[in-house]
Amino acid sequence: MSTSGLAAPALSARRRWAGLGVLAASLLVIAMDMTILNVALPSLAADLRPGADQQLWIIDVYSLVLAGLLIPMSRLADRWGRKKLLLSGFAVFGGASLLVLAADSAGAVIAVRALLGVGGAMIMPTTLSMIRSLFTDPRERATALGVWAAVSSLGMAVGPIAGGLLLEHFSWHAAFLVNVPLMIAALIAGLVLLPEVRDPAPGRWDVLGTAQAIAGMVALIWAIKRLAKLGPADLPSWAALAAAVALLTWFVLRCLRRTDPLLDVGLFSRRPFTAGVLAALASMFAMAALLLLVAQWFQLVEGFSPLQTGVYLLPMAVGAAIASPLAPTAAAQIGARTTVAGGLALAGLGFLSLHALPLTYPVVLLALTLLGIGASSLAIASAIIMSGTPPEKAGNAAAAEETAYDLGNVLGVAVLGSAASVAYRAHLDGGAPIVPVGAEESLGAALEIAAETGAPELAIRAEEAFNHSLAQTGLFGGLIMIATAIAVFLLLPKNTGLDGKH
């Protein structure tokens, strides 16, 4: 079934909600893949022995490719058909997951993760834009968007648990292979349940704009990572950063001039839209960084198994699951802008607790719980973004929101992950004894060297350095989240139409 417009053909309520189930399930898999390797990384590192840079690339190349391709893929979906692109994305994602069986080096794993990012970019914006097309009733759409936001947050929190459970019984390859049967099931269900939606007049494909967006994003992340490792005296880092700013500025100007832009930059003239996108970016920034660092702390400092680590990370998912259904009620009672900004502020307090309090599990539990509760406000942010968007711009709005999610994930790992690495190296190098070569790369490397050389004092110093880096990252991340909460509160009007006053 297809339609020549941007609204889906009339469907029964049962089929609409069944279609939402397919979209939510596929989104859950994509979101889980952002964080499932946080738990699997120590096992993967022990097997393939990647360097510190390679470890970060294994984690964030997935989201980097996602962020770079979301806008072009959204336009392709409007031209080619959203259902067709979605099902193709299922096939690419499942096929890439299967390729991990042939990955015998860190470089091969990075390549597999990049291909997964291509598949994810075909899936993620399509799920959101199809919800906009499937649910034309505002109340139904708000509920569906709430489910979408909750599943996205839940997937990132559940990823480490799934990874831990798999690693209790299988090798790190299972963190990839679990996607294969899930994608096959989604492909079959999508063929049966989802309608086709496409833009009857999508305009010409902007090849140059696509290249600008991808190249600019890659240069930006590479520059951030290199600056964190080599310091502000590294000229190639600044050159890459300047190139990224130039390319992305050129891309925005090009979109402003074109009648059929890849990204409708005019959407950002609406302050609620801008606030919603900013909230999505900041929330993913916080979640991605905290999950990465805390998962390593549980395993390498506390000595927990992968499954135990997944369970101990559960408070984030529990907080989000409990608070997400309550977010619309909170918005109706205290206002949408207070709900969204308050959620970001709670996440910021969670980060700051890591800096202000002694680093123990109860403190980490508090931080994870506050971050999960704070993330629940994303259901309101998503509704704000999509509710005021015309149907013909739903794909662009969905791509902008998804880009914010995935750019936040990339920047969280790149910025806060790199800041943690800098703080770790500085604290480790500040000790009196000479640090063995390689120990400054990561805590895992230091612990391995300490075990091989019989130097328990090195292990103690490395763990202290990692604790210090986590506390400093908590301060940095907390300040960023508080500042974002203030900005979102100022951008959103008192009445967004979601406040229960109409």
Architecture of the structural domain at 13-195+262-491:
Up-down Bundle (1.20)
Mean pLDDT of 357-370: 88
Mean pLDDT of 473-487: 89
In angstroms, the CA 70 to CA 475 distance is 31
Residue 104 gets which letter from DSSP? Answer: -
pLDDT at 3: 40
Residues near 426 by beta carbon (within 8 Å), at least 6 away in sequence: none
- The upper half-sphere exposure of residue 167, i.e. CA atoms within 13 Å in the direction of its Cβ, equals 27
Answer yes or no: is pLDDT of 249 > 80.
yes
In angstroms, the CA 385 to CA 337 distance is 13
Kindly indicate the confidence band of residue 502, based on its pLDDT and cuts at 50, 70 and 90: very low
pLDDT at 1: 37
In angstroms, the CA 145 to CA 350 distance is 26
Residues near 315 by beta carbon (within 8 Å), at least 6 away in sequence: 365, 368, 369, 372
Whether 146 contacts 24, CB under 8 Å? no
> What is the 3-state secondary structure of 355-367?
HHCCCCHHHHHHH
pLDDT at 496: 65
Residues near 138 by beta carbon (within 8 Å), at least 6 away in sequence: 387
In angstroms, the CA 76 to CA 155 distance is 26
Answer yes or no: is pLDDT of 432 > 60.
no
Q: Which of 65-79, 209-223, 425-439, 468-482 has the highest mean pLDDT?
A: 468-482
The more confidently predicted of residues 45 and 9 is 45
Whether 76 contacts 198, CB under 8 Å? no
List pLDDT tens digits, range 108-119: 999 999 999 899
Nearest to 498 by CA among 383, 341, 360: 383
The more confidently predicted of residues 502 and 62 is 62
Kindly indicate the confidence band of residue 4, based on its pLDDT and cuts at 50, 70 and 90: very low
The more confidently predicted of residues 238 and 206 is 238
pLDDT at 353: 93
Mean pLDDT of 341-367: 89
Whether 268 contacts 490, CB under 8 Å? no
Kindly indicate the confidence band of residue 247, based on its pLDDT and cuts at 50, 70 and 90: very high
Residue 10 gets which letter from DSSP? Answer: P
The more confidently predicted of residues 124 and 91 is 91
In angstroms, the CA 46 to CA 39 distance is 13
- What type of residue sits at position 63? S
One DSSP character per residue, 326-345 reads: GHHHHHHHH-HHHHHHHHHH
Mean pLDDT of 465-470: 86
Answer yes or no: is pLDDT of 88 > 90.
yes
Domain spans, the chain: 13-195+262-491, 210-261
Kindly indicate the confidence band of residue 44, based on its pLDDT and cuts at 50, 70 and 90: confident
Residue with tokens 């989000």: 320
Instruction: Give Cα separations from 337 to 274, 478, 492 (angstroms).
Output: 13, 20, 6
Residue 199 gets which letter from DSSP? Answer: -
Residue 356 tokens, joined = 């202000």
Mean pLDDT of 375-383: 75
